[in-house]
Structure 1
Amino acid sequence: MTAVGIPAFDRIPGQETDVCLIVEGCYPHITGGVSSWLDWLMRNLPQCSFSVISLVSGDEARASKYTFPPNLLRFAEINLKGPPKKAFSGHFKADAELAEVFAEQLTRLLQRGGADVLGEVLSTLDRFPRCPTYHNLTRSEFAWQVVCSMYRRMMPEASFIDYFWAWQSLVGGLFSMLLFPLPPARNYHAISTGYAGLLAARAAVERGARAIVTEHGIYTNERRIEILTADWIEDTIDNGLAVENRRKDLRDLWIDTFESYARTCYDACEKITTLYSDNQKLQLDMGAEYGKLTVIPNGIDLKRFGSLKPEPTSRPTVALIGRVVPIKDVKTFIAAAQPVRDAVPDVCLLVLGPLDEDKEYADECRAMIEDMDLEETVVLAGRVNVLEWLPKIQVMVLSSLSEAQPLTVLEAGAAGIPCVTTNVGSCREILHGTADEDPAFGMGGIVTDVVAPDQIAEGVIKLLRDDQLRRQMGENLRARVHNLYSSDLSRDAYARLYGQAEGREAARWQA
């Protein structure tokens, strides 16, 4: 079956856009989170024209979950696994000397990174007798010489076959970035490091363009957790108790490569932004220059969420707003429901979010609710209009294993709803404020450890049983969000980042 992607389009061929957004694994295929933020960004900067390059992986069918805004002039997908095999373009003559040069440069790019090394790789591609294809670089005699040389340089003690398939993935994604025809733009804005960051770095190195990276969560940290826990990566080297001269294994290869790609991105980008200050410590540890760093928090439409008024409900109502996927740890929320029900028998716990993004996990959540006899207490409501539900909620819960600056917490805060969240991303900063907050707005909720259903239950019970505390924390959070996290503040910061005058006409690309 042929995969169905989202058709590319170019509304004004050849026209330079103000911003080329480069995104991986989100917009426009997935709702919520970074995807919602990207949609917000484009719609709130109508004076800017945008291109979007969306990085995907695999052959599954894809469809847009969003209606594209009128100022999105250009859209294209890049498949990290390369184009279809029918794109083979015949024999590609191998050059042993060029293969060795290329292998040495790629080895340094994967082990150290840097804009200078990326520039060397790009220059070597220009030396090829003709423009190579993805398959020339990954499935040819030349590619075989390159991978064998890199294996000898990087990790000869490990399994070659395992190294080969890791190389196909890691370097194959790199080649997808290097061969893609860059659309003309004034700013190339990657919404993570990784492969998106590499494409922005390439624009800076190859064209002298202005490159920017914004990290909601730290990509290298997320990949490191994924790699360390992956059961599809097999450790093949026994390092024993050795401390020095440690030999590299496959997990090291994956982690080192993504860290090197991040250093390349940071090195090439003019600005490195993130949503909250704690992320900057990780960026600095990865080699980012302090002078490039800046914080631009997420923004909330205060008119939409701040005008919501509490509505009377027949039952005390607690909600988790988010996709039913493992990273949101909905199972911990369900586990917390039992002690909450024991303390507040008529309580209703809602899960408000899509159920179709990981159907197996959603089925496991349903089974867990049934096994714990919680059918009358916990409701998986699916996709909803959050604005209609927030007035009915007394306490918001976020049980995620990882977050950046969750919009759901800011939206609840704008509506004056206190939250119980895990200590992930900027949740503590949103609920408790920073040490230098002036004026200090006070506590807006309760922060727990991750995978701690008892702590979440304790926090929820405390807020449901104490009306005065619940109202006070809700008002504290409302004040913090209204003063520090408005959509207008965030929008203006990105307008300045892109070098756009806020009053510029927006009609030149509208139908």
Structure 2
Amino acid sequence: MVSSEHDPAMDGTEPAGAVLPDGVPADGRYAEVDVAIVMESTYPYLKGGVSAVVHDIITGNPDLTFGIIHITWDHDSPRTDLYGMPGNVRWVKVVYLSMADHPEFTSSRPADLRMNHRERLVLSHRLVDALQALAAGEGKPVWDLIAEGMAASTRRYPLWALLGSAEFMETYRDRMPTLGMSLSELFWCLREFFSLAYAVLGQTMPRARVYHAHTTGYASLLAANAARENQGSFLLTEHNLYVRDTINTLLGRRMDKPVTRQDYRTFDVGGRDRMWMAWWIEMGRLCYPEAYATTYLYPDAVAEARELGLDSTAVHVIPNGIVIDEFDGAYAERRDATRLLRQEGVEAHRWRLVYIARVVPIKGLLDLIESMRILRERGLRFHLDVCGPTEHAPDYYERCVARIAELGLEDVITVRGTINVREHLSDWDLFLLPSYNEGLPVVSLETMGAGIPTVSTDVGALRPVVLDAITAQDGTVLDPSGFIISPGDPVLMADRIQQVTSDVDLFERMSRSARARAETAFNLLRVNAAYHELYVEGGVGRPRADAAHNAGARRPHGVPPSSRGRHRAPRRPVKWNWSRKPKGRSAAK
């Protein structure tokens, strides 16, 4: 292994003498690893679906070494390992976005450029030219400026210092006349962009063969640049569409609304919102071509990503997965419970319903509470457990609790908070997901593994998981394992719950199909084998001297870009062949 020295006190990542986050090397040494996982505010310090997937990838590839690059806001963010990181994780590198951790940025002045008026003017026009080229689909001029003025290992001047110069502000104002912002507003908005870019580009990352980002945005920008600086490769996995979700949040829109790369030019929004839309969209367009491969959880996400600028990089559809035999006990209990259900009859049964998600607006719990009101009025005997973190959106949580009380539903709805879901799978008959935004929730697969049918909104990968045709290895086309409905329709949710709970034959077919679909299409051994193959494609296991020549390696700064994939027609998504045998990879937790 190659070790690199790093003094946290020198780059602002950790104050001298500070208590380091779990997994950060106390001596500042970061060994070279096979794969550096790049995350935003998730693994290993926050629980959630993406964190669980990353943990499975790491534990499922025990012969590889990993590092974690964890992007978060500041030193007050969570810093305690919640997963008991596996032994093949060598380190955690924490990157802070807040400028409180980067005083060298805020103290910079135009004089630090060491340029005269004419040179600053030329650089200003060059920067605007590069941004306009990016908007037209060409990222090389921006990457050249990043190499010269941002990336720690190659920069010759502090590009961010240009922002405070009269030359830049005048150039930007004259060449971007339709922004609808005052010069002061423009300055502060651009300062935010520069500061965020500096936070992820301003220090050289530890060496890895593959930098695997699990979202676009800042994680992709960091990973793509780290691959360039360290002659590695950049792999991108989009669990959900970061750009779409971020822009919809900014504009207060429903989270399932599509977003395209043209929208910042056409939406009727203010200048500042338009600037932020452009920032997120163009950051994605800058990074997409840098990835040697991009993976998605379901095919429809690929089509949406194309509209956001995904180009001709190799695209793979790799769903999440579970170790199916870990759910054998819960499934056996489900089959016993179904036999008892037949004996007592559906009308006498008290149906055990469960919501498993964060209590936040995009997950739709308020809608589900309304569905419970409707079902009670219709006479259904039921109890709903609400399981998941309640602290992420306190105001919304209080609204949900107040609505339960207002409707007099306290005796049929219990808010249980965060629990170990696997220990309680035999407690529930039906899994309900009223969400407005998902990728492929691992909990959906876990409930399926236990034979629990689903009623879910039509978001993310839920339709192909629950409803679309899946062919078993014996050629049987499996039945649906539940119902899929439009988001935001409590009446339809109640209708579908009632449809399942009034027909024991339908319930049993969905239960058996849930288990069969999980066994057939969402086997974690095959998922981890798929990622392992992509890591090898990116250069893992090869001498570093050869890594620059493999299909995924990125070029060093200053080396002209190859024409790889830039003039080909966009490739169709590659669906993983789930009938293939996994190559013996361990998925032990």
1:293 Cα deviation (Å)?
Answer: 0.7
The aligned runs of 1:268-279 (5 Å cut-off) are 268-279=290-301
1:119 is aligned to: 143
**Other-structure match for 2:478:** 441
| CA 1:299–1:449: 2 relative to 1, 3 Å | same
Q: 2:212 aligns with which of 170, 176, 189?
A: 189
Tell me by how many angstroms 1:106 deviates.
Answer: 5.5
Q: Corresponding residue for 1:19?
A: 35
1:424 correspondence with 2:448: no
1:479 aligns with 2:516: yes
Pairing 1:81–2:98 present: yes
Three-state SS of the structure 1 residue aligned to 2:79 is coil
Cα pair 2:371 2:491 within 8 Å, conserved: yes
Counterpart of 1:32 in structure 2 is 48
1:264 aligns with 2:286: yes
Match status 1:371 vs 2:406? yes
Distance 1:144 1:422 in 2: 52
**1:281-296 residue pairs with structure 2 within 5 A?**
281-290=303-312, 292-296=314-318
Q: How big is each residue's C-alpha offset from its partner over 1:432-462, in whole Å with a ceiling of 9 and x where there is no partner?
A: 1248886421111111111111111111111
Q: Secondary structure at the match of 1:48?
A: coil
Give yes or no for contact 1:81–1:169 (8 Å, CA) kept in 2.
Answer: no
Matched, 1:462 2:499: yes
Shift of 1:165: 2.9
Instruction: Identify the match of residue 219 of structure 1 among 222, 242, 245.
Output: 242
Q: CA RMSD for the aligned pairs?
A: 3.3
AA at the equivalent of 2:285: R
Instruction: Return the alpha-carbon distance in structure 2 between the equivalents of residues 279 and 73 of structure 1.
Output: 32
Give, in angstroms, the shift of residue 284 of structure 1. 2.3
SS in 2 for 1:9: coil
User: Which secondary structure state, in structure 1, belongs to the residue aligned with residue 92 of structure 2?
Assistant: strand
Deviations 1:77-127 (A, max 9, x none): 222233436556676534342441563255337634644133211233179
Confirm or deny that 1:10 pairs with 2:19: no
Distance 1:305 1:505 in 2: 17
Give the letter for the 2:531 counterpart.
Answer: Y
The verdict on how the C-alpha distance between 1:393 and 1:246 changes in structure 2, with shifts beyond 3 A counting, is closer
Distance 1:8 1:488 in 2: 27
Q: 1:144 to 1:15 in 2, by over 3 A?
A: farther
Segment of structure 1 superposing worse, 259-268 or 2-11: 2-11
Instruction: Pick which of 201-210 and 361-370 moved more.
Output: 201-210
SS, match of residue 498 in structure 1: helix
The question of whether the paired residues in 2 share the 8 Å contact of 1:273 and 1:293 is answered with: yes
* Partner Cα separation in structure 2 for residue 328 and residue 283 of structure 1: 22
Residue 18 of structure 1, CA deviation: 0.6
TM-score by length of structure 2 reads 0.76
Number of the residue aligned with 1:93? 112
Aligned to 2:70: 54
Would you say 1:328 and 2:363 are equivalent positions?
yes
Which stretch of structure 1 is more off in the superposition, 391-400 or 432-441? 432-441
| CA deviation vs aligned residue, 1:115-169 (integer Å, no higher than 9, x gap) | 41332112331799x9689xx6657874665455334433455223333332222
- TM-score calculated relative to the size of structure 1: 0.86
Distance 1:245 1:421, change over 3 A: closer
Paired amino acid for 2:373: Q
Q: Distance in 2 between matches of 1:244 and 1:378?
A: 44
CA contact (8 A) 1:46 1:71 kept: yes
Counterpart pick for 2:415 among 377, 380, 383: 380
Question: Letter of the aligned partner of 1:255 in structure 2?
Answer: M
CA contact (8 A) 1:22 1:190 kept: yes
- The one-character-per-residue Cα deviations of 1:191-236 (angstroms, maximum 9, x if unpaired) are 1111111112213434442111000111121122122228xxxxxx
What CA distance in whole angstroms lies between the structure 2 residues aligned with 1:143 and 1:439? 68
Q: Write out per-residue CA displacement over residues 388-436 of structure 1, whole angstroms, 9 at most, x where no aligned residue.
A: 2211211100111100111111111111111000000011111112488
Q: Which moved more, 1:115-124 or 1:43-52?
A: 115-124
Shift of 1:286: 3.0
Q: 1:339 to 1:205 in 2, by over 3 A?
A: same
Residue aligned with 2:211, SS: strand
> For the Cα contact (< 8 Å) 2:289–2:312, is it kept in 1?
no
Q: Tell me the distance in 2 between the aligned counterparts of 1:194 and 1:457.
A: 37
The answer to whether the 8 Å contact 2:60/2:528 transfers is yes
Whole-Å separation in 1 of the counterparts to 2:231 and 2:37? 17
Superimposed CA distance per residue, residues 275-310 of structure 1 (whole angstroms, 9 cap, x where no aligned partner):
111111122233333451111110112121243122
Call closer, same or farther: CA 1:317–1:479 in 2, change over 3 Å: same
Distance 1:321 1:40, change over 3 A: same
Change over 3 Å in CA distance of 1:467–1:247 after alignment to 2: closer
- For 1:391 and 1:63, the matched residues in 2 are separated by 33
In structure 1, how many angstroms separate the alpha carbons of the residues matched to 2:47 and 2:455? 23
Amino acid paired to 2:195: G
Q: CA separation in 2, counterparts of 1:498 and 1:363?
A: 44
Q: 1:73 to 1:118 in 2, by over 3 A?
A: farther
1:251 counterpart residue number: 273
**Preserved contact between residue 109 and residue 261 of structure 1 (Cα < 8 Å):** no
Q: Tell me which moved more, 140-149 or 37-46.
A: 140-149
1:299 corresponds to which letter in structure 2?
A: G
Counterparts of 1:286-435 in structure 2, within 5 Å, are: 286-290=308-312, 292-308=314-330, 309-310=333-334, 315-434=350-469
Identity %: 25
Q: 529, 533, 548: which is aligned to 1:496?
A: 533
Q: 2:40 and 2:186 mapped to 1: Cα distance?
A: 24
Q: Residue in 2 aligned with 1:200?
A: 223
- Rounded Cα–Cα distance in structure 1 between residues aligned with 2:470 and 2:85: 40
The alignment covers a number of residue pairs equal to: 490
Counterparts of 2:511 and 2:360, CA distance in 1: 27
Q: Match for 2:368: what amino acid?
A: F
The one-letter code of the counterpart of 1:181 is T
Q: 1:365 to 1:110 in 2, by over 3 A?
A: farther
Are the structure 2 counterparts of residues 474 and 141 from structure 1 closer, same or farther at C-alpha, using a change threshold of 3 Å? Answer: closer
Q: Is the 8 A contact 1:433 1:440 kept in 2?
A: no
Specify which of 64, 69, 79 is matched with residue 63 of structure 1: 79
Give the AA of the match of 1:405: L
1:251 Cα deviation from its structure 2 partner: 2.4
Matched-pair contact (CA < 8 Å) for 1:155–1:247: no
- Rounded to whole Å, the distance in 2 between the matches of 1:504 and 1:336 is 43
**In 2 relative to 1, CA 8–472 (structure 1 residues): closer, same or farther, beyond 3 Å?**
closer
Q: Which amino acid aligns with 1:396?
A: F
Q: Distance in 1 between matches of 2:267 and 2:467?
A: 45
Q: Which runs of 5+ in 2 are unaligned?
A: 1-14, 254-264, 342-348, 542-582
